[in-house]
Structures are given as C-alpha cells and as structure tokens.
Amino acid sequence: MRYLLFGLPLLALIALVAVFAFSIDRDPNLVRSVLIDKPAPAFALDAVPELGVPGFDTAALKGEVTVVNVFASWCIPCRDEHPLLMALNQIEGLRLFGINQADAPENARAFLAELGNPYDAVGADRDRRVSIDWGVYGVPETFVVDAEGIITFKHVGPLTPETVETELLPAIEKARKAT
C-alpha cells in the first residue's frame, strides 16, 4: 500500500512530463479551426454606420476569393497589421472584407479614417456573435474564403510581412486554383 501511495504521484508526474515533451515542438500560435474546408457560417452583418462601405452576409462571400479580417479599433495588433491590409487591397481580383468586433461605430470610423480603409465591406459585429460563429479567439484573425464560400485558411494574430508572404498569399492562390 505504501508503494502505491508514492508510486501514483510519480506516475502522474511522468505522464505530465511526457505530454509536455511531445508538445514542445508545436507552434503555440497555431490554432486549428474546425471550419477549414467548410462553408462560412450563416450570418448577416449591418454596415458600420456612416463608414461608406456596405456590411455583408454569407451570400456576399460567394463568387470571388475573399480575405475576411476580424479587427477592432481598441486592438493594438490590428493597428500594427493595418499597413499590410492596405497593401493586400491593391491585389487585383481580391476582395477584403472586415468584421469590426465589439466596437462603437464612431471608434471604428475614426480608426479607419486615421489609417485608411482597405475593406470593400465592413460588418459591425457589436455583440461578437458572428465572431464566435467563425471560431474567433481574439482580434485580429484573418480568413481566406474561396469563391464557393468555403473557408480554406485561418491565421490567428496579427499579420506580418513574413506570414503574408509564406502563409496568406499561398492560401489565396490555392483558393483561386480551387475554383
């Protein structure tokens, strides 16, 4: 009985060390999405009032490859990635839609007025309901949706020049070839 009392905690410790050892080489920024290769969730987002671009819904994602970026004015990393979104907007045949998460309309307008508006459409997700349906953990997050409305890629966190070059642009090309 005495060996059992000392042996069980030791076995638990060994099991815990094994779990950590096998997980050490995993990318902590990689958050798999159950939505990859599935249709975008059904939703409809109203436009941010007085922004000058429309809101959007599930049906609007069909027809062309679309990058969907979840952002907020209060998000510091969103500010950091914004110049990259402005550059993405210049790519021919690529649409860029924004989901503005939990923002007051005046703050969203001020954010985009200051930094520029790269979005062809911006939906106001004030209660975060649509973001939850998309599996968003936090802002910013970026998705690629193919012309059939299928989510083919998800990037968690701010885009960097490296992630745009090595992950996002290849995902966009792959989505274009799939249709």
Confidence (pLDDT) at 3: 67
Confidence (pLDDT) at 4: 63
> Distances from the Cα of 34 to the Cαs of 1, 126, 136, 138, in angstroms?
46, 24, 11, 16
Where does 42-167 show beta strands of DSSP type E? 44-45, 56-57, 66-71, 95-101, 121-125, 141-145, 150-156
Q: How confident is the prediction along the chain (179 residues), in pLDDT tens digits per residue?
A: 666 666 777 777 777 776 666 655 544 444 467 899 999 999 999 999 999 999 999 999 999 999 999 999 999 999 999 999 999 999 998 999 999 999 999 999 999 999 999 999 999 999 999 999 999 999 999 999 999 999 999 999 999 999 999 999 999 999 999 86
Predicted TM-score (pTM) of this structure? 0.83
* Cα-Cα-Cα-Cα dihedral sign, residues 36, 42, 46, 52: positive
Which residue, 136, 94, 86, 87, is CA-closest to 111?
86
Confidence (pLDDT) at 29: 46
Confidence (pLDDT) at 94: 94
Confidence (pLDDT) at 178: 83
End-to-end CA distance of the chain: 66
DSSP state of 128: S
Give the C-alpha separation, 161 to 88, whole Å: 11
Where does the chain show beta strands of DSSP type E? 38-39, 44-45, 56-57, 66-71, 95-101, 121-125, 141-145, 150-156
